[in-house]
Structure 1
Amino acid sequence: MATGEDLRRIALSLAGTVEAPHFDRMAFKVARIYVTLAADGRTANFNFTPDEQQFKSMMLPDAFSPVPNAWGRRGWTATDLSRLSEEDLENALRMAWAHAQPGKPARR
């Protein structure tokens, strides 16, 4: 079972990642935000591609689901961290982190 502290530790170990407030959440970013963590540390929103979102939601439907708005249609995916192993969390973070690198074009 993963926690908000696990997310923070793993995210900050990824090259170039910084943590900053983002509305009522904490954001982890390189050139752009790739994951946000809720204040209670129980849920997170990942920036996946729509295909990655569909895959994650299919493979771990109890853990991943599209954010229910236009952001969700663009790939932003909500997760209940308690439903992830640390390995699943690290894989999700690395996937989202790869999209946040400098020089990567912003996805629309």
Structure 2
Amino acid sequence: MVDIKTFKQLALSFPGAEEQPHFEKTSFRVKKKIFATHATDSHIVCVKLSEIDQSVFCAFDKTIIYPVDNKWGKQGWTLVDLKKVRKDMFVDILTTAYKEVASKAK
């Protein structure tokens, strides 16, 4: 399990990471590109993964890590249940999302 405070600390620990509003959610960005979002009333985080990384992480347990159920999910946007995910796995997921976005952001 990962609490919201820990999630935010982890997300902001990456070089250049910033917290900004994104509609009704909070986004975490690097070079103006979103790598994670979180709705304040939820324990679900959305991260941006490559399609390959998404399939690897989702293979672990689709009740914990699963693609967004629409065209965004096909682009790598992936939901993670903070109440169920192990911290070490979440650190890997968030790090992968950050690196995916940072490598492509200009």
Settle same-fold status: TM greater than 0.5: yes
Aligned partner of 2:45: which letter? A
Please give the alpha-carbon distance, in whole angstroms, between the structure 2 residues aligned to 1:34 and 1:64.
16
Q: Counterpart of 1:60 in structure 2: which amino acid? A: D
Cα contact 2:67–2:79 (8 A) shared by 1: yes
1:89 aligns with: 90
Shift of 1:104: 2.0
String of CA shifts for 1:68-99, please: whole Å, max 9, x gaps. 11110101001111111221111111000002
The alpha-carbon deviation at position 61 of structure 1 amounts to 2.0
The 1:97/1:77 distance shift into structure 2, 3 A limit, reads same
For structure 1, the 5+ residue unaligned runs are none
Task: Give aligned-pair identity as a percent.
Answer: 28
Tell me the distance in 2 between the aligned counterparts of 1:105 and 1:21: 19
Which aligned segments of 4 or more residues in structure 1 are displaced greater than 6 angstroms?
Answer: none
Q: Which residue of 2 aligns with 1:65?
A: 66
**Counterpart for residue 2 of structure 1:** 2
TM score, norm. by length of structure 1: 0.89
Q: How many pairs align?
A: 105
Gaps of 5+ in 2: none
1:45 counterpart residue number: 46
Shift of 1:41: 4.4
Letter in 2 for 1:40: D
Partner Cα distance (2:68, 2:13) in 1 = 26
Q: Please name the residue that 1:12 is paired with.
A: 12
* Aligned CA-pair RMSD: 1.5
TM-score with structure 2 length normalisation?
0.91
Distance (Å, rounded) in 1 between the aligned partners of 2:87 and 2:34: 21
CA distance in 2, matches of 1:10, 1:60: 22
SS in 1 for 2:83: helix
Equivalent residue, structure 2, for 1:22: 22
